Structure 1
Amino acid sequence: MSDADLARRSLALLDLTDLAEDATAEGARELCRRALSGPVPVAAVCLWPRFVAVAREALGDRAVRIATVVNFPAGDTPVAPVIRETDEALEAGADEIDLVLPWRALLAGQTTTASAMIGNVKMRCGERPLKVILETGEYPDLDKVREASELAIAAGADFIKTSTGKTTHAASIPAVRTMLGVIAQAERPVGIKPSGGIRTLADAKGYLDLADAIMGPGWATPATFRFGASGLYGALVEAIGGTVPASPPRGSY
């Protein structure tokens, strides 16, 4: 596969993200314009809940989906406010919810707390995809990554996602390999979203090659695989031969 073809494949799997602390409504509109104007439309935009209605107005009924984050970024908000935030985001037009797992509770052995959070949010999502952010870079070992992956899937996650992009350590090949191993054993379809620190075409290739090797060629589609990245967008557009907008997408991803 040529670099341009790989970049096209990767761009179609991208959740174009702006979760910067100083994000604005105009920035959300610009994110939506970029999502539609590249050589290949991205899979989704991912932004703060307060900008979901702005994105819905900007995108209308186009194929690019709207994702937003809850319990983000720390993962330690009580369940009731998280449910309320989820309900409000869905009512505003969100197509997908990215929920931060209460990972500190999980590491402390409070598995019921983590499961209940996922189950309650999934109940609100219904058929809309729920991506559960594990924050794998903060775990002591891959056994904990495996445990978190299994718990998230058992509680109702449609995707498992590596990272918020707000911590020092984000996505890694070993963590994603572990997560894909759990997905391969799952009794229902589950997707994966590597996110955080993915900035180059070579980065994207590493994760896609891993998915192809474990899950089979062709498994990685927008229904099963996403990149959570803002910095990756420009690298992919350049590899395809397009022109990157003057102000690249922002955010910690």
Structure 2
Amino acid sequence: MEELKFKVAQKMIGLIDMPYLYLNFDGNKLTSDIHALGKIASITTFAQHVVPIKETLGEDCPIISTIINYPNGDFNTYNATQEMKAAIAAGTDEIDLVFPYQALVNRQAGLCLQFLTKLRDVAGDYPLKLTIEAGILQDAKWIRKASELAVRSSMDFIKTTSGRNRQQVTLTMVQMILHVIQDMNPNVGIHIQTNNNSFSEASQYLEEVINRFGTSWVDASHFRLSGPNLESSILEILKENHDILS
């Protein structure tokens, strides 16, 4: 059992997305955090940090995902388009677009689809992740609809939440999103933001994904995990079990 736990924790390292949503850039801290973890999947950050991160990490730099339309998910196609173009010009690898969730709740699903389709066109070949803010939406109807719009507009990933205000995302919400992906397009990935930042919570999500799609589906191109302190929780498991297994 301990050996299995150790191997799961090792697997999770390669699925981690590290949020770097600070106003000021601290290269020393970033380098220290990355070296402690090893080869993670990605870093989510702002456009102004893309170049400094790449220069600091060099060949060790993971995928950089630039978040736009953050934090409020504004329903403004022009502004979101300009932000996306700035992120691409900065050298980002992916785009993380915050969904205009308030417009959806105001029953503007058709306009939301137009918004997403336009942004998909602007992104071109760049991978595009849609953060639906399930923790704010809460209602199953809206979470399901947001997920359906993500798939219909050819998003590459559905992300549960940006983590702002620590909105609570439940296993039931994740299951709704996975059901939409499974039903409409299993090539769409999912990025889950944990609440308690615990290894056990992340393991529960991992098990759910494997049960639906199989172990071969679980890689950084389909599945990612993040949380403000998730990294430290996984590192603690690795340290504890390394001592036991060595």
TM-score by length of 2: 0.89
Question: Which sits farther off after the overlay, 192-201 or 176-185?
Answer: 192-201
Partner of 2:148: 150
State the Cα RMSD in Å. 1.9
Partner of 1:2: 4
Conserved? CA contact 1:133–1:163, under 8 Å = yes
Partner of 2:24: 24
Partner of 1:12: 14
Matched letter for residue 145 of structure 1:
I
Matched letter for residue 6 of structure 1:
V
Q: How many positions carry a matched residue from both structures?
A: 238
Question: Structure 1 185/164 Cα, relative in aligned 2: closer, same or farther at 3 Å?
Answer: same
Cα deviation code 1:54-97 (max 9, x no counterpart): 11222334461111110111101511111111111111111111
- Matched residues in 2 for 1:141 and 1:202: separation? 25
Which of the numbers 20, 36, 39 marks the counterpart of 1:38? 36
Question: Structure 1 52/43 Cα, relative in aligned 2: closer, same or farther at 3 Å?
Answer: same
Cα deviation code 1:180-203 (max 9, x no counterpart): 111111246100011152511101
Conserved? CA contact 1:29–1:54, under 8 Å = no
Alignment of structure 1 residues 99-248 onto 2, 5 Å: 99-187=97-185, 189-241=187-239
Structure 1 residue 29: Cα displacement: 5.6
Conserved? CA contact 2:75–2:103, under 8 Å = no
Cα deviation code 1:24-49 (max 9, x no counterpart): 112x56325522x1353110111122
Question: Which protein shows a greater Rg?
Answer: 2
Partner of 1:249: none
TM-score by length of 1: 0.87
Identity of paired residues, percent?
27
- Matched residues in 2 for 1:186 and 1:47: separation? 29
Structure number with the higher helix fraction is 2
Matched letter for residue 146 of structure 2:
A
Structure 1 residue 119: Cα displacement: 1.8
Conserved? CA contact 2:194–2:201, under 8 Å = no
Which of the numbers 70, 73, 78 marks the counterpart of 1:72? 70
1:49 aligns with 2:47: yes
- Matched residues in 1 for 2:16 and 2:114: separation? 29
- Matched residues in 1 for 2:126 and 2:51: separation? 17
Conserved? CA contact 1:198–1:204, under 8 Å = no
Q: Secondary structure at the match of 2:165?
A: coil
